[in-house]
Amino acid sequence: MSYPLLRIHLDAIRQNGKEIIRRCKENGIDAWAVSKGISAFKEIAQAYKEAGFKVICDSRLLNIHGMQHSVEGLQYALIRIPMRSEIKEAIETSDYTLVSDLGTIKNMSDLCHKLGKKHKIILMFDMGDLREGFLHSDVDDIAKCVVNLHGELEVAGIGVNFSCASGVLPMPENIDEFIQIHKELKEKTGLELPIVSGGSSCSYVQLCRGELNHSVNSLRIGEALLLGRDMAFDVDIPGLNQSTMEIEAELVELREKPSKPHGKIGHDAFGHVPSFEDKGLRLRGILSIGKQDVQIEGLTPLQDGVTIVTASSDHMIVDLTDCPDKYKVGDILTFLPNYVAMLAASTSPYVTKVFENN
Query: Is residue 68 within the footprint of ligand PLP (CB under 6 A)?
Result: no
Q: Name which of 147 and 165 has its Cβ closer to ligand PLP.
A: 165
- Residue 36 designated active-site: yes
Q: What is the Cα–Cα distance from 351 to 73, expressed in whole angstroms?
A: 30
Among 34-42, 140-148, 319-327, 345-353, the segment contacting ligand PLP (CB under 6 A): 34-42
Cis-peptide, bond into residue 4, ω within 30° of zero: yes
Q: Name which of 37 and 298 has its Cβ closer to ligand PLP.
A: 37
The alpha carbon of 249 is separated from its chain's Cα centroid by a whole number of angstroms, namely 23
* Among 20, 29, 34, 121, contact with ligand PLP (rule: CB under 6 A): 34
Q: What is the Cα–Cα distance from 301 to 323, expressed in whole angstroms?
A: 11
Query: Which residues, including other chains, have CB under 8 Å from residue 244's CB and lie 6 or more apart?
Result: 8, 9, 12, 13, 16, 226, 227, 228
- What is the footprint of ligand PLP within residues 77-116 (CB under 6 A)? 79, 98
Query: Is residue 221 within the footprint of ligand PLP (CB under 6 A)?
Result: yes
DSSP codes joined into one string, 269-316: TTS---------EEEEEEES--TTT--GGGEEE-STT-EEEEE-SS-E
Among 21-29, 110-118, 217-225, 260-268, the segment contacting ligand PLP (CB under 6 A): 217-225
* Among 35, 200, 244, 346, contact with ligand PLP (rule: CB under 6 A): 200
Q: Name which of 79 and 142 has its Cβ closer to ligand PLP.
A: 79
Specify the pairing of strand 332-337 against strand 245-258. antiparallel
Q: Name which of 66 and 228 has its Cβ closer to ligand PLP.
A: 228
Angstrom distances, CA of residue 195 to CA of 96, 214, 229: 11, 13, 25
Q: What is the Cα–Cα distance from 262 to 239, expressed in whole angstroms?
A: 49
DSSP state of 134: B
Annotated catalytic residue within 36, 186, 279, 353: 36
Q: What is the Cα–Cα distance from 228 to 99, expressed in whole angstroms?
A: 28
Cβ atoms of 75 and 54 closer than 8 Å: yes
* Among 19, 126, 152, 223, contact with ligand PLP (rule: CB under 6 A): 223
* Among 49, 119, 220, 284, contact with ligand PLP (rule: CB under 6 A): 220
Residue 135, Cβ neighbours under 10 Å: how many? Answer: 12
Q: Name which of 169 and 311 has its Cβ closer to ligand PLP.
A: 169
Contact code string over 256-295 relative to ligand PLP, x by CB under 6 A: ----------------------------------------
Q: Name which of 14 and 36 has its Cβ closer to ligand PLP.
A: 36
Contact code string over 169-188 relative to ligand PLP, x by CB under 6 A: --------------------
Number of residues that bind ligand PLP (CB under 6 A): 14
Query: Is residue 37 within the footprint of ligand PLP (CB under 6 A)?
Result: yes
Cβ atoms of 46 and 232 closer than 8 Å: no
Angstrom distances, CA of residue 84 to CA of 26, 90, 165: 38, 10, 22
Q: Name which of 161 and 348 has its Cβ closer to ligand PLP.
A: 161
Q: Which element (helix H / strand E) includes 32?
A: strand 30-34
Query: Is residue 161 within the footprint of ligand PLP (CB under 6 A)?
Result: yes
Query: Is residue 222 within the footprint of ligand PLP (CB under 6 A)?
Result: yes
* Among 109, 201, 218, 346, contact with ligand PLP (rule: CB under 6 A): 201
Q: Contact residues for ligand PLP (CB under 6 A)?
A: 34, 36-37, 59, 79, 98, 161, 200-201, 220-224
Catalytic machinery residues: 36
